[in-house]
Amino acid sequence: MLILFNKPFGVLTQFTDKGNAGSERPTLSGFIDVPGVYPAGRLDKDSEGLLLLTDDGRLQARIAHPKFRKPKTYLVQVEGEPSDAQLEDLRRGVTLKDGPTRPAKARRIPPPDLWPRVPPVRYRKSVPDAWIEITITEGRNRQVRRMTAHVGLPTLRLVRWSIGEWSLDGIAPGEWRAV
């Protein structure tokens, strides 16, 4: 079984919260009541979008393990106006504290037609923002956020739109579909 889930902002990519006692945070169990499925990869609490869950360990490995280089596409709202040089740096790959990243696909896009984020992204009149689409083939911890920050474009909103051939198309936040 494979489940495509549109993870809302603020939801942990786990079924239980083993964090601070008394400060229950939303988890996958509040959205998905299917026994025996586990996330194939992770998505930060501060990020939204496609999360794949499966009950098949082999499929989970093929989706999540970096050696399979599954492309993951993100729609990223950044602070600032991306220059051609900044986008080219992302395309070549950047060197982060944990080493160089693989080259990424990166391009400016018009603001996508997405659901409103709750809470909304802070708007500042004096600082422009823009949207870029980034596709990576690895999945380090907070990688897209670290890459955009490295080139001077801090991430304001991050939505994973697709993983390989699977996408969020037609799946509302908090909803899921079995494929």
Annotated active-site positions, please?
44
Residue 31, beta-bridge partner list? none
Terminal Cα-to-Cα distance of the chain (whole angstroms): 7
- Peptide bond before 119: cis, by omega within 30 degrees of 0? yes
Which candidate, 88, 74, 52, 96, places its Cα nearest to that of 157? 74
**Tokens matching residue 63:** 């989706």
Question: Helices marked H in the chain — which ranges?
Answer: 57-64, 84-92, 143-150
**Tokens matching residue 73:** 């596409």
